[in-house]
């Protein structure tokens, strides 16, 4: 009978498990990175939405209809770019 340790089978088995774990780690890292990038992009969109809202508000308070109109156009553009899934359910209504 051959000795199992000398046959190389455990080494190949460990090596294949190591490769599988490495592939899984790379996939998980890619998924997490993509999720973080999407989260950052959504936060940037929400930030721009808030800025455009304040632009409209400030222009209306100041009585500047031209600035309010331009701000409203930017606000509509920004709100159309925000996914409703990002906004919490309590804030949608």
- Sketch the domain layout of the chain as residue ranges: 4-82
| pTM to 2 decimal places | 0.53
Question: What are the tens digits of pLDDT across the range 59-73?
Answer: 888 888 899 889 889
The per-residue pLDDT of the chain, averaged, comes to 75
What is the rounded average pLDDT of the residues 72-84?
Answer: 83
* C-alpha to C-alpha distances, 56 to 31, 47, 68, 78, 90, nearest whole angstrom: 38, 14, 5, 13, 24
């Amino acid at each position: 009978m051959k000795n199992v340790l000398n046959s190389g089978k455990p080494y190949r088995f460990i090596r294949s498990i190591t490769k599988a774990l490495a592939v899984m780690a790379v996939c998980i890292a890619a998924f997490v990175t993509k999720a973080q990038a999407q989260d950052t992009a959504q936060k940037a969109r929400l930030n721009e939405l808030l800025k455009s809202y304040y632009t409209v508000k400030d222009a209306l308070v100041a009585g500047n209809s031209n600035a309010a109109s331009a701000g409203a156009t930017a606000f509509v553009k920004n709100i159309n770019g925000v996914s409703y899934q990002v906004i919490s359910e309590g804030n949608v209504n």
